[in-house]
Amino acid sequence: MFATRINRLTSSLVRDILAAASLPGIISFAGGLPASEALFKADQNVLSQLPDDIWQYGQTEGEPALRQQVALRAKAMGIDCTAAQVLIVNGSQQGIDLVSKLMVSEGTRILTESPTYLAALQVFRLFGGEFVGTQQDEQGILPEALAGCDARLAYLVPTFQNPTGRCYSKERRQALAEAFDRHSMLVFEDDPYRDLAFDSPAPEPIVSQLNKALWVYQGSFSKTLAPGLRLGYLIMHPELMLPLTRLKQAADLHSNRLSQAIVAQVLADGSLDRHVSRILPLYRQKRDFMHACLQRHLADKAHWEKPVGGLFFWLTLHAQQDTMLLMRTALAAGLAIMPGAAFDPVPQPSATLRLNFSHASMAQIEQGVCLLAKLLD
């Protein structure tokens, strides 16, 4: 009846967890929602300055003023680019949809970290992508992993990764960039957490060090400003601009112009940087607090690294316990967590879990970690 790709639409497990997590009375460590108090809410001052022409159809590539601002910021982080290489999208999720349309058919081999961002896995699977096993260490993918690898596309989240919080070193990035150049593999670097650096700034993106391989770099305003704006961007090798712009046009003509006008203004007047400076201490405090709670209640039951950026703790239980079952028990007890298997390119029972620390209140963090410890007893 339906196209065969519909059979590959992942089960609603994750939707179910997230839906349950939003019920009143549930403490949620499950999603990746910014704290309510960290959201940038455009005020009347911003809204009263919206340009008069935003109500008409706009350009597929995005608003020129916003593309210009994005290119300026990208150059400051080391990516040699111009506004002509910028394509505005409806948040990172659409960027993944567009790059999948560009690259992924039935059986297309994709190199990813394992674990990695689950919604990217969903989209790659939808289009028929298959994942290649790869060698990794605690820093991420090893350059040696590319030798003999038949992947056409590498999807990486090298900076404060979702779900592990991991950040690739400068040296690893350099070595990987050389390997990608050598193997002419297209690199899709997804980088939504870069600005949420709690201890020291992240090294320059991998794509900034490529000389030969094609590349797409993705950024988002969901974690720094507000997800409701539904706005992110792709910056890419010039050769990819025409097909990706056509794919964007076929997907929805162009992104919302109100949001684009708001974000262009917020970037131009420095509000984004001021906002990030305001929310960093809040997130740092929550991270430190969850770390302390975990040490107090879970030190004998799990191990983890204190994340240096992003929104998540990644725990490995000492016991060989399937966290998919733990997730169900926890939900019944009023706590939502994400089982590690959800982030597996090839899902298998796992003793890992992801805990988000940005959305819950301090009181909920304490209560939730306590509850988790009890459930593990």
Quote the CA–CA distance of 229 and 226 in Å, as a whole number.
6
- 27, with CB counted inside 10 A (0-12, 13-18, 19+), is buried
Residue with tokens 């990819």: 240
Pairing mode, strands 186-190 and 153-156: parallel
Q: Write b or e for each residue in 127-137: b if 16 or more Cβ atoms lie within 10 A of its Cβ, otherwise e.
A: bebebeebeee
> In this chain, which of 135, 169, 249, 329 binds its own copies, going by CB under 8 A?
249
User: Per-residue x/- marks for its own copies, 228-247, CB under 8 A?
Assistant: xxx-----------xx--xx
CB of 106 or CB of 199, closer to its own copies = 106
13 lies in the site for its own copies, by CB under 8 A: no
- Residue 5 CB, shortest distance to its own copies, in Å, is 7
Nearest to 294 by CA among 160, 165, 182: 165
Three-state secondary structure string covering 5-70: HHHHCCCCHHHHHHHHHCCCCCEECCCCCCCHHHCCCCCHHHHCCCCCCCCCCCCCCCCHHHHHHH
Select from 40-48, 203-211, 293-301, 340-348 the region that touches its own copies (CB under 8 A).
40-48
The CA radius of gyration of the chain, in Å to the nearest whole number, is 20
- Residue 298 CB, shortest distance to its own copies, in Å, is 28
104 lies in the site for its own copies, by CB under 8 A: yes
User: Per-residue x/- marks for its own copies, 253-292, CB under 8 A?
Assistant: xxxxxxx--x------------------------------
Structure token pair of residue 150: 């038949």
58 lies in the site for its own copies, by CB under 8 A: yes
CB of 246 or CB of 284, closer to its own copies = 246
2 lies in the site for its own copies, by CB under 8 A: yes
Dihedral of the alpha carbons of 126, 100, 71, 140, in degrees to the nearest 10: 80
CB of 129 or CB of 340, closer to its own copies = 129
> In this chain, which of 37, 52, 137, 138 binds its own copies, going by CB under 8 A?
52
26 lies in the site for its own copies, by CB under 8 A: no
- 355, with CB counted inside 10 A (0-12, 13-18, 19+), is buried
CB of 34 or CB of 203, closer to its own copies = 34
- Residue 231 CB, shortest distance to its own copies, in Å, is 8
> In this chain, which of 13, 65, 126, 292 binds its own copies, going by CB under 8 A?
126
Select from 102-110, 167-175, 302-310, 367-375 the region that touches its own copies (CB under 8 A).
102-110
201 lies in the site for its own copies, by CB under 8 A: no
Q: Establish whether the linkage from the previous residue to 243 is cis, with ω within 30° of 0.
A: no
Select from 221-229, 266-274, 316-324, 325-333 the region that touches its own copies (CB under 8 A).
221-229
Inter-residue contact 260 to 66 (CB < 8 Å): yes
36 lies in the site for its own copies, by CB under 8 A: yes
- Residue 89 CB, shortest distance to its own copies, in Å, is 8
CB of 146 or CB of 371, closer to its own copies = 146
Quote the CA–CA distance of 136 and 369 in Å, as a whole number.
29
Q: Establish whether the linkage from the previous residue to 163 is cis, with ω within 30° of 0.
A: yes
CB of 89 or CB of 202, closer to its own copies = 89
Quote the CA–CA distance of 221 and 62 in Å, as a whole number.
15
Residue 201: phi and psi, rounded to 5, are -60, 150
Note the residues at the interface with its own copies (CB under 8 A): 1-6, 9-10, 12, 15, 31, 33-34, 36, 39-41, 44, 47-48, 50, 52, 54-58, 89-91, 93-94, 97, 101-105, 108, 119, 122-123, 126-127, 152, 222, 226-230, 242-243, 246-247, 249-259, 262
